[in-house]
Amino acid sequence: MTPEVSEIEAIEGRYERRRVRGCDNRYSPIDPYVMMSDQEKDRALVRTLRAHGLTRNISDRTLLEIGCGGGSNLLRFLRLGFSPKNVVGNDLLPDRIRAARLNLPPSIRLRLGDATSLEFTDETFDVVCLFTVFSSILDDQFQQRLAAKAWSLVKPDGGVLWYDFIYDNPSNADVRGVPIRRLRELFPNEKMHVQRVTLAPPIGRLTTPWWSGSYSLLNQLPMLRSHVLVWISKND
C-alpha cells in the first residue's frame, strides 16, 4: 500500500468516525452558533472577492471546490453570483457527492475521488476553494501534493481561497490545526491576504444559544477567533 492510498483510507476513516459520533449535526444552518459564524464568513468572503476584483463579471468566473461535502459552500457561492455552469465540486466520499447532487443545480459538475488525481487542464479555474480540508489530512506529504495540485489548477490571475482552523483540538485526534506558518510552507513565496475569523467553536457553541449578541461581542477579541480566511493570489 502506497503512503497516498494509506492516507486516503485514513481520511475516510476519520469522516466515518465523525458520522458515527453524530458530529455532522453540529453544523446545522439553524444552529445559532453556525448561523452567526456563517454570516460572518459571508461578509469576509464578499470583502475578499471585492478586494481582488472577482466581483467583476462574477457569473463568468470559474470555481472549483475541493472537499465540497454536501454542497453548502457551493450554494453560498451561487448566492454570491457564480453561475452553476462554471462551478465544479469534488469530494473523496461517495455519500457526500450524493448529498451534493441532491442539493445543487444539475448544471454544477461533481467529481468523486482523490483531488490529486482530478483530470483538469492546468490553469482552468479562477478560484480553487479549500474549506476545512487540510485540517483533516494528517500526512504532510499528502498535504503538499494536494496543495501543488490545487495551485496548478489556478489561472494566472486567480487564486486559492482557503478557510480552516489554526489551532489543534486536543480532544480530537482526527484533526490538526493548520497555522499560517504551515500554510506558507504549502504555498511558498505566494502572496497571502489573511483575515482571522470565526469565534472559536467551544466558546461560540456555549454562549451563542443563550444570547446571539455574544458572538459579535466575544469575536471582537482576535485571540478568540479560531479560523482564517485566506486569499492566496497568483497575480499580486
- For the chain, give every domain's residue range: 3-233
Do 115 and 92 touch, CB atoms closer than 8 A?
yes
pTM: 0.93
CA 192 to centroid of chain Cα atoms: 16
pLDDT in tens, 143-153: 999 999 999 99
C-alpha cell at 143: 498535504
Whole-number pLDDT of residue 7: 86
Q: What is the CATH number of domain 3-233?
A: 3.40.50.150
User: Which of the residues in the chain have pLDDT under 70?
Assistant: 1-5, 22-25, 236
Phi, psi of 213 (to 5 degrees): -65, -20
Residue (of 63, 75, 68, 66) closest to 103 by Cα position: 75
Q: Can you give the pLDDT at residue 22? A: 66
- Looking at residue 1, its pLDDT comes to 54
